Structure 1
Amino acid sequence: MNILLADDSRTTAAPILALMNRLGHQVRHVMDGRAAVAAYQEQQPDLVLMDGIMPEMDGLEATRQIRALNPEQWVPIIIMTAMDSKQQMLEGLAAGADDYLFKPIDFEILDARIKAFERIATLQQSLVGILDNVYEAIITISQTGHIHKFNKAAERIFGYRAKEMLGQKVNQLMPSYHAEKHDDYLLNYLKTGQPRIIGQGRKVQGRRKNGELFPMRLSVTEVKRAQDSLFIGLVQDISDEEATRKQIEYLALHDPLTGLPNRAAFQQTLDQLQQVPAERPHLLMFIDLDGFKPINDTLGHEAGDEALKQVAQRINKQLGKKDFAARLGGDEFTILLHEPANAEQARHLADTLLNAISQPMALMNQTIQMGASIGALLFNPGEQTNDALLSRADHAMYAAKKAGKGQVLLIDASAS
Structure 2
Amino acid sequence: MFLEILIVDDIFESRHELAEQVTALGHRVSLADSGMAALALLQHRLPDLVLLDLLMPELDGFEVTRRLRELTGRHWVPVIATSGLQGEEHVIQALKSGADDYLSRPVNPHLLEAKLRHYGAVLALQSRLARRAQRERDILDNILDPVLTLNASGNIEECNRSALGLLRQDGQPLRLGDACLAVLGLDLPALLAQPECQLRAADGTLRPFELGLSEWREALHVHYTVVLHDLSAQRQVERMKDEFLATVSHELRTPLTSVLGALGLLAGGAAGALPAPALALAQVAQRNGERLSGLIDDVLDLTKLEGDRLQLYLRPQPLYPLLREALAANQGYADRAGVRLLHGIPEQEAGPELRLDGERFLQLMANLLSNAIKHSPPGEAVRLIVSVDAYCARISVRDRGPGIAPAFRARMFEKFSQADGSDRRAQGGTGLGLYISRLLVERMGGRISADEPQDAGSGACFSVEFELAGRAQTEVTALPRILHIDADLEIRERVQRWLSPVALVDSAAHLGQADALLALHADTPYRLLIGSPQDQGAALAFCAGLRRLAQGRPAMLYGDSVDQAFCKEAGLPWLSPARSGPAELLAMVQQLMKPAASQQAKEQAKP
TM-score (norm 2): 0.30
Q: RCO (CA 8 Å, sep 6+): is it higher in 1 or 2?
A: 1
TM-score (norm 1): 0.41
